[in-house]
Amino acid sequence: MKTSIATVCLSGTLTEKLHASAEAGFDGVEIFEPDLVAAPESPEEVRALAMRLGLTLDLYQPMRDVEGVSEEQFADVLRRAEAKFALMHRLGMDLVLCCSNVATATLDDDEVSASQLRRLGQLAEGYGVRIAYEALAWGRFVDDYRRAWRIVQLADHPAVGVCLDSFHVLSKGHDPSGIEQIPGEKIFFLQLADAPALEMDVLSWSRHHRLFPGEGDFDLRRFVGHVLRAGYTGPLSLEVFNDTFRQTDARQTAVHARRSLRWLEDALAQEAAADGAASARDDVRPLTPAAPPTSFDFVEIKAEDTSHVEAMLLAAGFTRRGRHRTKPVVLWSAGEARVILNEQHARDLAPHVAAVGFAVADAAAQTARARELRTPFAYRRAHASEETLVAVTAPDGTEVYWYGASEDEPAWTAEFVDGDPTTEGEVTSIDHVSLTQPWQVIDETVLFYRAAFSLEPAGGTDVASPRGLVQSRVLRTPDRAIRMPLNVAPPIVAERGAGSGLTQHVAFRCRDAVSLAREGRGRGLDILSIPANYYEDLQARFDLPDDTIAELRSLNVLYDRDATGEYLHFYASAPGRAFWEFVERRSGYDGFGALNAPVRLAAQDSGRNHA
């Protein structure tokens, strides 16, 4: 499908935006007027640059406050409009967005608005321009696409049609199915934006919090389905006002934006296939299907010195499985939990999650899908005799590998030599991997895992740390084989570089957390101390037996309960950073002990201060 992006979605100057859009593979752009007004390039230069870059200039936007006004005011509207139509002619553009009046409307009358749009259309026609009229969600009188369409019908002019914007329809809770009543050729343009479900005034919501498709809570698949069934033949175009994207590198944002439309196109194709119907349009291309990962294959930890991690793994019952035949990495495992330690000659590099591996049903399909989504592939040297692991780099820099799932240990483990045989222990698998995200990339990260690996977002929460709120969002597979909480550290903590230790960790699933804590302690596992006050509060909250509380307290095991089950968990500290969690899930407990997180963060903070 043809794609377009409004220049307001991207950071930088107009020429930077055009370059970034073209490089990311967009077919066209919407020119946001303030970007042009502030540009030193003439309209002719902008037109020539777009042509050289292979970009069409799809929509000039916005013209404001053009209808619903007195005839005296309308004379000024026509004067203003004519200047813009002449400008569009110089740009070689033929479509302008006119949004419903916000500021100057005094006449709440469809006939008046229609008459004024008709005359605007007559003027536009002379310049080869068409008018796409859009109901803003905060329009003074016209704030519903159905009314905008009635007005366009009344205007009854070939140069006057509607522009549909998913935000303006869905933010108001308007039923989008009425779109199918509009003839496709009268839908002049389609603008797409996702958004989180927020309760706030719709103007602020729109100006600051729009997201690319797949990152928010709007059902864009359904919305666009209606538009395509109406017979719309134009591009899918993104118009996303967002405080973050205004600041971040335009090239990266454009790639990310383009990926969101590729994901949406696939969703449209899947829906048509599921309905057993052909797509409403024959240019809707699916991605190569790839089932969600079936488990964590491994995590890779990089550090200047991994010896503290090795001591921790040993105390937790892990086995050293050996050194890789050709690469300077070591494998440790316990059950199906595999940890690769990778020492780097990098001064003071603290242990961190450098990579996660997913077991997938069809590695080749996964690779094809990742390519189609233009995820950046990571370089990894492999010798001829070795298994090929493919990886992409997530927006936060973490490398994500995949490898064909198997009943037995994956074949790549045979490349590790001179190690010990596995033994049965308490730890069975990797339960979840919690990654710290810079605030600039959290939305992009959600889309990355969703589009490439079919992880689904499952709500978010704020967790209080002693140094600020940590924003947490969870990604997971439907069967919970993969759970990845993503945490955004408070900006000041993040600036100090102290954030990742507080909010990034690998959690291992175990059979019996209390037994593992006791055994681990015996083997020297350094378990994070939890204050006595916590256990007194726990007793008040849950009315657990005294001896249970005493046992948990003596072992520093935390406890939580939800509607279905229980969660027992504890943390292993490493000098300066606590990095490892051990969890026992009973009877289908589905959370992460959110109520315990502030206590854990405070305990880590106090450990950090003393370190």
* Interface with a second copy (CB under 8 A): 11-13, 33-34, 36-40, 42-43, 76, 79-80, 83-84, 87, 198-201, 204, 207-208, 243, 246-248, 439-440, 462, 464, 466-469, 490-493, 495, 529, 531-534, 536-537, 539-541, 543, 598-599, 601-603, 605-606
Nearer to a second copy, 129 or 370 (CB): 129
Nearest-approach distance from CB 34 to a second copy, in angstroms? 6
Can you tell me whether residue 608 is helix, strand or coil?
A: helix
Three-class HEC string of 517-557: HHHHHHCCCCECCCCHHHHHHHHHHHCCCHHHHHHHHHHCC
Residue 368 CA, distance from chain mean position? 21
Nearest-approach distance from CB 238 to a second copy, in angstroms? 18
Residue type, 592: F
Residue 117 CA, distance from chain mean position? 39
DSSP 8-state assignment for residue 11: -
Nearest-approach distance from CB 422 to a second copy, in angstroms? 38
Contact yes or no for 263/212 (Cβ under 8 A): no
Contact yes or no for 261/253 (Cβ under 8 A): no
How far is 220 from 339, CA to CA, in rounded Å? 39
Nearer to a second copy, 478 or 491 (CB): 491
Nearer to a second copy, 274 or 540 (CB): 540
How far is 142 from 98, CA to CA, in rounded Å? 12
Nearer to a second copy, 61 or 367 (CB): 61
Nearest-approach distance from CB 138 to a second copy, in angstroms? 11
Nearer to a second copy, 154 or 469 (CB): 469
Residue 50 CA, distance from chain mean position? 29
The strand order across the sheet containing 483-488 reads 456-465, 468-476, 483-488, 427-436, 505-510, 577-586, 566-574, 558-561
Residue type, 233: T
Nearer to a second copy, 209 or 585 (CB): 209
Contact yes or no for 463/436 (Cβ under 8 A): no
Nearer to a second copy, 84 or 222 (CB): 84
Backbone φ, ψ for residue 283 (5° rounding): -100, 15
**Residue 288, CA distances (Å) to 122, 224, 229 in order:** 47, 21, 24
Nearest-approach distance from CB 243 to a second copy, in angstroms? 6
> Which residues 6+ apart lie within 8 Å of 509 measured at CB?
337, 427, 428, 429, 430, 431, 583, 584, 585
Nearer to a second copy, 147 or 608 (CB): 608
Nearest-approach distance from CB 36 to a second copy, in angstroms? 6
Q: What is the DSSP string of 68-100?
A: S--HHHHHHHHHHHHHHHHHHHHHT--EEEEEP
Nearer to a second copy, 42 or 181 (CB): 42
Nearest-approach distance from CB 123 to a second copy, in angstroms? 14
Nearer to a second copy, 39 or 291 (CB): 39
Nearest-approach distance from CB 203 to a second copy, in angstroms? 9
Angle between helices 513-522 and 546-555 (to 10 degrees): 40
Nearest-approach distance from CB 70 to a second copy, in angstroms? 17
Nearer to a second copy, 406 or 529 (CB): 529
Nearest-approach distance from CB 489 to a second copy, in angstroms? 10
Q: Where are the alpha helices (DSSP H) in 241-322?
A: 250-274, 307-315
Nearest-approach distance from CB 284 to a second copy, in angstroms? 35
Nearest-approach distance from CB 406 to a second copy, in angstroms? 44
Residue written as tokens 């229980």? 566
Nearer to a second copy, 415 or 444 (CB): 444
Contact yes or no for 91/54 (Cβ under 8 A): no
